[in-house]
Amino acid sequence: MELAVVNTSGSATGKKVILNDSIYGIEPNDHAIYLDVKQFLANQRQGTHSSLEKSTISGSTKKLHRQKGTGGSRKGSIKSGTFVGGARIFGPHPRDYSFKLNKKLKQLARKSALAYKAIDNSIIVLENFNIDEPKTKNYLNILNNLKFNDEKTLLVIGEYNDNIYKSSRNLTKAKVMAAKDINTYAILNASKLILTEGSIEKIEEILNSEK
């Protein structure tokens, strides 16, 4: 797949890059994407939720009335979850929601997400650039020049750049990541994927790694 390279002004530079078909030209695997996104969202959960059960709630353990002969139901404790102010029945407790996935499957999921972006023509290649000082206006001007100011964007750069990251973090629809940090969820969550020239080789190196 061949794409033209544009600069931060939105103008064509005359350069072209070829995106590797072993990544951007594969048949997307929906199940791999599902598992990787599920793992990503599960790993974001704190799992600190907790509730009080009968053994931990305060209250009397005295039996409310005799077992039989009242004409009513059996009631063992005022702490029962069937009473207002009683314990939580089968309530949540602290737990770890994270789980592991095979590295090859995660690679396939990211390749599939990138392939979907290629199919949708949602990838743009941007000339390598730098921002002298961290200002939101600087990054917003770049998005305006690319006509992406109203789009959800993910900019992938070759190496982490503090000024670029800080210039984008106040924009709710814009996200910046280093090539080594990209994940399936971030790729699919963006409507437009912006790859810098320096990130393309890094992505290929990571996703075609045999280790």
The CATH number for 38's domain is: 3.40.1370.10
Q: What is the DSSP letter of 159?
A: S
pLDDT at position 6, please? 92
pLDDT band for position 61 (cuts 50, 70, 90): confident
pLDDT at position 59, please? 87
| Cα 50 to Cα 76, 92, 95, 138, distances in angstroms | 24, 5, 9, 44
Rounded mean pLDDT, 162-183: 94
Q: Do 41 and 75 share a domain, yes or no?
A: no
Question: Higher model confidence: residue 150 or residue 35?
Answer: 35
Q: Do 144 and 187 share a domain, yes or no?
A: yes
**Which tens digit of pLDDT belongs to each residue from 106-160?**
999 999 999 999 999 999 999 999 999 999 999 999 999 999 988 999 999 999 9
Closest CA to 133 of 174, 173, 161, 170: 161
Q: Do 25 and 114 share a domain, yes or no?
A: yes
Beta strand residue intervals within the chain, DSSP E: 2-6, 12-18, 123-126, 153-157, 174-178, 192-196
Report the length, in residues, of the chain. Answer: 211
Q: Do 33 and 86 share a domain, yes or no?
A: no
**Which tens digit of pLDDT belongs to each residue from 96-108?**
999 999 999 999 9
pLDDT surpasses 60 at 202: yes
pLDDT band for position 43 (cuts 50, 70, 90): very high
Rounded mean pLDDT, 152-175: 94
User: What is the domain range of residue 90?
Assistant: 47-96
pLDDT surpasses 80 at 10: yes
pLDDT at position 141, please? 94
pLDDT band for position 211 (cuts 50, 70, 90): low
Q: What is the DSSP letter of 14?
A: E
**Which tens digit of pLDDT belongs to each residue from 78-88?**
999 888 989 99
Q: Which strands form 192-196's sheet, in the order they lie side by side?
A: 12-18, 2-6, 123-126, 192-196, 153-157, 174-178
Q: Do 36 and 71 share a domain, yes or no?
A: no
> How many distinct structural domains can be found in the chain?
2
What average pLDDT does the chain have?
93
Q: Do 137 and 196 share a domain, yes or no?
A: yes
**Which tens digit of pLDDT belongs to each residue from 67-76?**
999 998 888 8
Q: Look up the pTM and report it.
A: 0.83
pLDDT at position 115, please? 96
